[in-house]
Amino acid sequence: MDSKFKKWLVVSALSGGLLVVSHVSQAAISYTDTILDVPNANSTWAEGINDSGQVVGRFFDGSRGHGFVYDGSAYTILDVPNSTDTSINGINDRGQMVGTFSDGSRVHGFVYDGSTYTSLDVPNANSTWAEGINDSGQMVGTFSDGSRYHDFSYDGSTYTTLDDPSATTTGAFVVDINDSGQVMGEFSDDKGSYVFVYDGSNYTIMENPDNWITWSSAGGLNDSGQIVGNFFIRKVGVRGIVYDGGTYTFLNGYDSGGEVTVTGINDSGQVVGNFYGSHGSHGFIATPTTPTTIPVPAAIGLFGSALAGLIGFTRRKPIK
């Protein structure tokens, strides 16, 4: 079907509640959309995508959460045995998946290889969330020690704690890892929310474009260095973005009046995320097609039509 998504170059300022675009014309990318709704689900959330286009996530059937993988034609339901709630959060090109489940008393991470679920519990942690896995099998996530959150990486035998030194209040939340070992995450303090990338030795905090547009949450990153996440825009709400070599772009669409958030990106630039409609949450895959050029007046009009009716949403921690 025709795409309802447009990808816009970042807005330079907000003035009088209106979006002000800094260029005479803006390059846009059209998308072919695939809406993801697990049959008979009340709500569906897409969380990650690999280079084969397989999408993982979770859905709610009215009584509990279940994990799923979508291969382009069929949904496969995945539930950790004896769990009360399951979420699949990441998938690599080998089909290995990581996620989180609850056993009714605490939260555990897990990795699934297509036949066996293996629990992931950081030693001495109260709860563990597994969020991302790369093609080498390196896994990342977050754990709680009862007082604050910490990030970790796991290579199949050893857990390594990763703590952004700037995350001094409640800790940070790691969401993804690419094949180069770059890790993406988020943290917040009394001044706001921040997104960071860690390359194994240095933490880089992503800058906010201006005082009106600030990071809300991290989504994911691919092997080309493209990252996706979500911005909070004052007097507007949360918007999904793609960051590519110094350019921030918004992802808007689905004339539902609700917000669009993004949670993952593969090496082909396919983006997955979620939007809210009249019947709960829906996942989506947005596949980029041929770039086009959109005049500024049209761009402003489309931006303006998407400003109302936004509600808060953060991808992190679907299982409590």
| Domain that residue 205 falls in | 6-305
Side-chain half-sphere CA neighbours of 160 within 13 A: 12
Q: Is residue 206 part of a domain?
A: yes
Q: What is the pLDDT of residue 231?
A: 86
pLDDT digit string (tens) for the chain, length 320 residues? 333 333 333 332 222 222 222 222 334 456 778 999 999 999 999 999 999 999 999 999 999 999 999 999 999 999 999 999 999 999 999 999 999 999 999 999 999 999 999 999 999 999 999 999 999 999 999 999 988 899 999 999 999 999 888 777 677 899 999 999 999 999 887 777 889 999 989 998 887 777 777 778 999 999 998 999 988 877 777 778 888 877 777 776 554 456 788 999 999 999 999 988 777 899 999 888 754 333 333 332 222 322 222 222 234 444 44
Q: How many residues does the chain have?
A: 320
According to DSSP, residue 210 is labeled B
Cα 154 to Cα 137: distance, rounded to the nearest angstrom: 9
Residue listed under structure tokens 């993952």: 264
Cα 24 to Cα 274: distance, rounded to the nearest angstrom: 31
Q: For the beta carbon of residue 235, count every other beta carbon within 10 angstroms.
A: 8
Q: Is residue 130 part of a domain?
A: yes
Q: Is residue 314 part of a domain?
A: no
Q: What is the pLDDT of residue 133?
A: 98
Cα 226 to Cα 136: distance, rounded to the nearest angstrom: 19
C-alpha distances (whole Å) from 184 to each of 8, 28, 202, 309 are 23, 26, 12, 29
Instruction: Give the angle subtended at the CA of 260 by the CAs of 264 and 99, to the nearest 5°.
Output: 35
What CATH number is attached to the domain comprising 297?
2.120.10.30
C-alpha distances (whole Å) from 5 to each of 45, 93, 100 are 18, 26, 30
Q: Is residue 318 part of a domain?
A: no
Q: Is residue 102 part of a domain?
A: yes
Nearest partner of 155 among 133, 175, 173, judged by Cα = 133
Distance of CA 105 to the CA centre of its chain: 26
- Structural domain tally of the chain? 1
Nearest partner of 111 among 84, 136, 132, judged by Cα = 132
Q: What is the pLDDT of residue 143?
A: 96
According to DSSP, residue 124 is labeled T
Q: Is residue 39 part of a domain?
A: yes
